[in-house]
Structure 1
């Protein structure tokens, strides 16, 4: 298991590479060029800058999250071919610096969805929160304002150029149901996976977050059965999944440990985080500790250990603690605690402590 830590880049993150380097066990950063418009080619010279920055601290840049998919590809428009060609060029450029995994998602219009960014918890910390009733009743524009009204930090997956065309996008998606979205994903993968194979980069789709429809938009990477279908779309070891415990785990019917054991060779990258699910369908993100949430983080890490997992992993969203000013879900302190909790479980499993 190779531990990594998400980093948003110089002048775009409250956390420095020198701080990340001080977290025991972290070998690399998970990164992206957040200032490149979705659909455009990532310039090699900009990629090289990140490589040089990371190498100063002996950190690898093996995992990219995310090379986002242009909406025209998801919609299946004729213009998609131009954006797919740009994506191929970006893959080739990333291969030149040794990137091994590209994480992406295929969620229409909205990326991850929460109704509150800093929900206060009983201990005084705050965390990302999803209120089911509010999500089902609020206007999409209200959700956009909740997410983007955070001027200090950009919010990946919520690109202003896309959100400025919200009404147009919603109108366009009226003709795209789940089966059409599956067909558009298949078209994309049929074009991209041969290029990924050529450059030895594994494509790893991120599940929908949360794993159900929002505002009537189709979502398809939501369950074990749908992950199986994804892997069959283009049956290649380069067509994979980024298994995110928090995203899939928001639906209690999803057994994360079972998924890990079911797809041992198709998970090159994993997100591990915990959430507390309430009876009414609300959920809030907690510390990584098993007893603090609804997910069995110990059981999830054990499943990875049982399959001999040698891929990349990162602690996912953390709480905001100790008055830290940071991007929602992406502070230093709670994610660093998460790293140590995950590695503590792994170390215990390596020593066979669980067998006593």
Structure 2
């Protein structure tokens, strides 16, 4: 597997020189300054590519070229935005960049309730607390019908939390769910927005009347429109699973399990329509056996995210050590090294450790935590390769 790293452009506090020194081969990045829906111009793409190559690395994967909301919900600007997307893909193809990771999650890109969950060893990680998220839906968003999505036990705990939660804790929950985990990825809401809850509600309202079948058909329409340009330039579009892989906020979710992935790969059965296999996202769903899915979908996987989670008895989930948890990364690496060995992979969501907490890194993307994970996974890959060579 090709060792890559998600890098957030020239303003990233982690420099390309640092990444070269820790053994990276490829870079996963995007043109983060270009607003969603606008065309990525060829000169901007080439400038970024040259900057990366001058550091002795290569631009391996685009993550991501965001799919605008109107494409997802089928708004009046859909066709214009798809044309812009096609133009961006063509420019990427001309520049020789052939792998694009994207998602089709409405409004939200990924969700956690805690960005600094403390471990006994002094490190911290990302965490999803069902009670806190239910509180967010019911009392902060005031989403109509939200109570129906939760068990009586969860609702009882929400009422208990409502009696003790402080305004500062409410503000932190809004900042975590709406701003910090969204702004640096898809740009729908940023720290500059003065009223994030109100804006978030407006985004949710765009999906009124859009159920799972409708979202699936909108995704199929999008893929059918872009496949000709992908075919012309050999661009692999690889969809990222929903994170977490279950329903939230009354929104449809269509990349959560084996059946969903089967559907999307068969709905547009083209070699360029592929999968980003994110072991971490998939492992957060009890319905998913991650190694079995890796084996089943290896032939259509174009990019791999290696991280893992643990699901707690109460339904919460937490980022796990990269050698532990439901992601079973050793098994996953063994499968991909055997079935599809040249894939780019990146480690993901490292712990905060060794003073990284005050560096201002994007949530889940600290330097030392990911460097530790890279070292662990690099050792796994080397061991698996030795196994395969010995058996041949």
Question: What pairs with 1:64-213 in structure 2 (closer than 5 Å)?
Answer: 64-139=62-137, 144-147=174-177, 155-160=184-189, 165-213=199-247
SS at match of 1:210: coil
Normalising by structure 1, report the TM-score: 0.93
- Alignment correspondent of 1:319: 351
* Structure 2: tracts of 5 or more residues without a match: 142-169
- Alignment correspondent of 1:15: 14
Rg larger for: 2
Offset at 1:118?
1.4
RMSD over equivalenced CA pairs, Å = 2.1
Residue 17 of structure 2 is aligned to residue 3 of structure 1 = no
Per-residue CA shift, 1:291-329, capped at 9, x if unaligned?
xx3332211111112314221110011111101122211
Runs of 4+ in 1 over 3 A off after TM superposition: 139-144, 147-151, 161-165, 353-356
* Structure 1: tracts of 5 or more residues without a match: none
Offset at 1:331?
1.1
Question: What pairs with 1:327-346 in structure 2 (closer than 5 Å)?
Answer: 327-346=362-381
Residue 103 of structure 1 contacts residue 205 of structure 1 at CA under 8 Å; is this kept in 2? yes
Change (3 A) 1:35 1:144: farther
Normalising by structure 2, report the TM-score: 0.85
Structure whose residues are more often helix by fraction: 2
- Alignment correspondent of 1:51: 49
Residue 136 of structure 1 contacts residue 214 of structure 1 at CA under 8 Å; is this kept in 2? no
Change (3 A) 1:308 1:77: closer
SS at match of 1:174: coil
- Alignment correspondent of 1:218: 252
Residue 39 of structure 2 is aligned to residue 41 of structure 1 = yes
Aligned residues, how many? 351
Counterpart Cα distance in 2 of 1:281 and 1:90: 40
Question: What pairs with 1:299-314 in structure 2 (closer than 5 Å)?
Answer: 299-314=331-346
Per-residue CA shift, 1:44-83, capped at 9, x if unaligned?
2221221121111211112000001110011111210000
- Alignment correspondent of 2:152: none
Residue 5 of structure 1 contacts residue 314 of structure 1 at CA under 8 Å; is this kept in 2? yes
Offset at 1:148?
5.7
Counterpart Cα distance in 1 of 2:253 and 2:264: 13
